[in-house]
Amino acid sequence: MSTSEAAALAAELRTAMGKLTRRVNHEDRIPMGQVAVLGALDRNGAMTTSDLAADQRVRPQSMARVVGLLMDQRLVTRRAHPTDGRKSLVELSAAGRDALEAERDRRVGWLARAIEDELTAEERALLARSATLLERLATRS
């Protein structure tokens, strides 16, 4: 495959992945930014608001607003930082974990139904092999 063919494939793949991501995110009942924060807390454990902001690549002030909204919904809690009294840690509450799991289930459910309804058995096998390749590309440094 030539460099120009690889570039064309990359552009098609980026466009298709963007469309698929937006469609899957359409299943969300919680705004995407809030789901992203819940997911980060689920993956990483308790974090400071500043660490969450850095993780999500937003300003600390913006993250403080998101954390406030999540606290209002009782999806996260705040506790004192164990080594720095000036900081606090944000962590998932039981309700937050349940809400995140429900969001994930909605996304996966929609995608699973779409795969079953739209793809042939041969296409599903090809997609399964492609998922491994996409994961490999996603982890490339």
At 54 the three-state DSSP class reads helix
- Read out DSSP for 78-106? EEE-SS-TT-EEEEE-HHHHHHHHHHHHH
CATH number at residue 119: 1.10.10.10
Hey, how many other C-beta atoms are within 10 angstroms of the C-beta on 52?
23
Closest CA to 47 of 78, 16, 93: 78
Number of domains in the chain: 1
Please state, rounded to an integer, the average pLDDT across all residues of the chain. 92
Show Cβ contacts of residue 46 under 8 Å, excluding neighbours closer than 6 positions: 79, 89, 90, 91
88-105 confidence digits (pLDDT tens): 999 999 999 999 999 999
Show Cβ contacts of residue 66 under 8 Å, excluding neighbours closer than 6 positions: 33, 34, 37, 58
Domain of residue 41 covers 3-138
What would the mean pLDDT of 102-121 be, rounded to a whole number? 93
pLDDT bin (cut points 50, 70, 90) of residue 8 is very high
| Alpha carbon distance 48, 41 (integer Å) | 10
What would the mean pLDDT of 105-113 be, rounded to a whole number? 91
